[in-house]
Amino acid sequence: MDPFKTVDGLVVPMDRSNVDTDAIIPKQFLKSTKRTGYGPYLFDSLRYKDVVEYGADCSKRPKIDNFVLNEERYTGAEILLARENFGCGSSREHAQWALKDYGIVCLIAPSFADIFYNNCFKNGMLPVTLAAEEIDILFSEVQGTIGYRLLVNLELQTITTSSDRIFSFEIDQFSKYCLLNGLDDIDLTLKKSPKIIEYENMRRLRAPWLFS
């Protein structure tokens, strides 16, 4: 997993509450355990007029004109601005895979569903919670400014706007450590490799019949 330190990215606003994981990546696409290839299906039912299955070519599908991801001004966005309870619903990790494959690396909202929030860290994405009134300010600015960007600094735990307004955010220090160092659960386990090998060698000596 790549380390996350800062992102200076274009912002796309998702101005709706309680966006669930089935909206983020609909159930018909949960047919692979690969972490890539889901970006074209992100927000599929909100983004396209038709319905397709996993593996379909999305390049010529009819799009819903007034959906934000279909607006040219938000092409290449890396930061998703959302409303409360983003990522509710089922615990499918495909939601993070779809967001990241699309290019989103940071999400900002007043609140997230717990499982979704924790899964973001496991996939190298930063979920930031801000007060509702701060979120309102950001929505007003991004909707009124073409090319609106934010600088998110994980180490300093700050979000800086183009007008140099600074918002601070809280984050669990262990999750912060993992993101800054690019460590997922497997990486954390492998850091204990010497102790794991030592234990396995001890068990091999004490109970050799288990290893025959």
Mean pLDDT by 10 residues, the chain (212 residues): 95 97 95 91 97 94 95 97 97 96 98 97 97 97 96 98 95 96 84 83 86 78
Q: pLDDT tens-digit profile of 16-57?
A: 999 999 999 999 999 888 889 999 999 999 999 999 999 999
pTM equals 0.90
Within a domain: 90: yes
The domain tally of the chain equals 2
Q: What is the mean pLDDT of the chain?
A: 94
Within a domain: 1: no
Give me 7's structure tokens: 């992102």
pLDDT at 3: 94
Within a domain: 61: yes
* 11 and 79 assigned to the same domain: yes
pLDDT at 194: 86
Within a domain: 187: yes
Residues forming a β-bridge with 107 = 80, 127
3 state DSSP class of 117? helix
At 145, which CATH number?
A: 3.20.19.10
pLDDT at 21: 97
* 147 and 175 assigned to the same domain: yes
Structural domain for 141, as ranges: 6-181
Within a domain: 56: yes
pLDDT at 202: 87
pLDDT at 192: 81
Exposure class string for 119-149: b at 16+ Cβ within 10 A, else e: bbbbbbbbbbbbeeebbeebbebbeeeeebb
Residues 6+ apart with CB under 8 A from 156: none
Report the chain's C-alpha Rg in angstroms: 20
